[in-house]
Amino acid sequence: MKGRKPKNEVKTENSHNYTKAELEAREQARKSHKAVPDGLSCPKVLKDPKAQAEWKRLMPLYRKLGVDVLNDLDVKTLMAYCNSVAIYERAMEQFEEEGCEVTVIKLDKYNNEIATQNPLIKIMNEQGTLIARYAEILCLSPVGRIRMGKVPPKEKKESAKGGFDSLFADEDDEIPFVDKPSA
């Protein structure tokens, strides 16, 4: 086989040879997006009390992360997340008030009974999907935090032998030899 041996390197942002002007432009772009301040108050356009409560619940949690996850571009996405949570919670409350009925009996124009899915379930499914998407984008889920590189890897703990862990311990993988009595 002829030719040059392939290099075993991964291209990253730092491996590119940027000019001084490009580096300065990139740094200015990073600085132009200010981080969300610690005391960011709930936007006035977020009128639903449940959405406001979700906003107020999340802000201290973001501060506890210790890193700037949000910036001014993420406020609208966070508002959409809070609204989705509020809609989901209202649908869940109404669903529970109605007795958690999955199917609803309705009458058609001929007075025949038709069993249909409760429309609240559709609302909860749609909002649940949106909540999961927004949660990942906003680093509110484990997957989102891992993808953003915001969660340090956990160190392995030395577990005590016993319980479920002892079933998978390496030293007892072999079956001991037992002499069978001769008949």
Q: What are the tokens at 100?
A: 């958690």
pLDDT of residue 171: 56
176 found inside a domain: no
175 domain residue, yes or no: no
**How many whole angstroms separate alpha carbon 95 and alpha carbon 67?**
38
Show the domain range for 106: 44-152
Per residue in 167-180, pLDDT (tens digit) is 555 555 555 555 55
Please, which pLDDT band fits residue 69 given cuts at 50, 70 and 90? Answer: confident
Residue 117 lies inside a defined structural domain of this protein: yes
Position 106 scores a pLDDT of 76
110 occurs within a structural domain: yes
Whether the CB-CB separation of 71 and 33 falls below 8 Å is answered with yes
Task: Write down the pLDDT at residue 11.
Answer: 52
CA distance 82 to 52: 7
Number of independent structural domains in the chain: 1
Residues 56, 59, 60, 62, Cα dihedral to 10°: 150
Provide the pLDDT for residue 162: 56
pLDDT tens digits along 26-61: 777 766 655 565 556 778 888 899 999 999 898 888
Predicted confidence at residue 37, as pLDDT, reads 59
Q: Decide if 79 is inside a domain.
A: yes
pLDDT value, residue 93:
92
Q: Would you state the structure tokens that stand for residue 33, as one six-digit string?
A: 């997006």
Nearest Cα to Cα of residue 158 among 146, 169, 172: 169
The 10s digit of each residue's pLDDT in 112-158 is: 877 788 888 899 999 999 999 999 988 888 888 787 765 555 555 55
Tokens of residue 101, six digits: 């009925």
Whether residue 37 is contained in a domain is answered as: no
Q: Is residue 24 part of a domain?
A: no
β-strand pairing of 113-117 with 103-107: antiparallel
Q: What pLDDT sits at residue 84?
A: 96
pLDDT, tens only, 80-107:
999 999 999 999 999 888 887 777 777 7
DSSP 182: P
Confidence of residue 25 (pLDDT cuts 50, 70, 90): confident
